[in-house]
């Protein structure tokens, strides 16, 4: 795996793409973009796409890469799904509600969990991070922080 950065990277930026199938790379990129496994690993190439999705999920769960986390949107509290290149929700019948701050990395930091947003540098110079005792608490704290109104 190539050097870690503070932004989202696609499979071809992490692996030597000539060594892997396009289906593996597509499955990997689907996970990075927040697509659920059952939707990413469908059709005749589901095994290879599933392998790519699983590899990305492993890197996401160990805090090694940034990915899109579909946070609940607006008053709906549903996370939605990817449809036609954007996020959509059948519950509130809206689409295109993805926010730039959905690009995150979640990692264990001692006994706590930390969520950092894309572009995070360090605790002193960045404001796009949150901690929690569990992964879910850290994600909730980050969503709450990012949804706060900006002071004028």
- Give per-residue pLDDT as tens, 88-120: 888 877 777 778 898 999 999 999 999 999 999
- Same domain for 82 and 55? no
- Give per-residue pLDDT as tens, 23-74: 999 999 999 998 889 888 888 899 999 999 999 999 999 999 999 998 877 6
What local confidence, expressed as pLDDT, does residue 81 receive? 78
CB proximity list for 89: less than 8 A, separation 6 or greater: 73, 76, 78, 80, 81, 95, 97
- Same domain for 50 and 77? no
List the domain range (segments joined by +) for residue 135.
67-146
DSSP 75-96: TT----EEETTEEEETTTTEE-
Task: Tell me the C-alpha distance between 101 and 67, whole Å.
Answer: 11
Question: In this model, does residue 2 exceed pLDDT 60?
Answer: no
Residue 6 lies in a domain: no
- Same domain for 40 and 83? no
- Overall number of domains in the chain: 2
What local confidence, expressed as pLDDT, does residue 76 receive? 73
What local confidence, expressed as pLDDT, does residue 152 receive? 53
Cα 65 from chain centroid (whole Å): 9
- Same domain for 71 and 57? no
- Same domain for 86 and 137? yes
What local confidence, expressed as pLDDT, does residue 98 receive? 78
């Amino acid at each position: 795996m190539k050097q870690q950065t503070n932004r989202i990277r696609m499979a071809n930026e992490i692996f030597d793409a000539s060594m892997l199938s396009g289906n593996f790379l597509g499955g990997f990129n689907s996970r990075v973009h927040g697509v659920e496994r059952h939707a990413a690993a469908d059709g005749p190439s589901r095994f290879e796409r599933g392998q790519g999705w699983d590899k990305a999920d492993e890197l996401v769960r160990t805090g090694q890469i940034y990915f899109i986390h579909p946070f609940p949107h607006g008053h709906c509290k549903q996370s939605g799904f990817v449809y036609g290149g954007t996020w959509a929700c059948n519950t509130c019948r809206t689409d295109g509600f993805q926010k730039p701050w959905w690009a995150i990395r979640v990692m264990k930091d001692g006994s706590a969990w930390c969520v950092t947003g894309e572009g995070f540098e360090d605790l002193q110079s960045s404001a796009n991070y949150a901690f929690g005792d569990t992964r879910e608490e850290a994600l909730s704290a980050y969503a709450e922080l990012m949804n706060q109104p900006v002071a004028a």
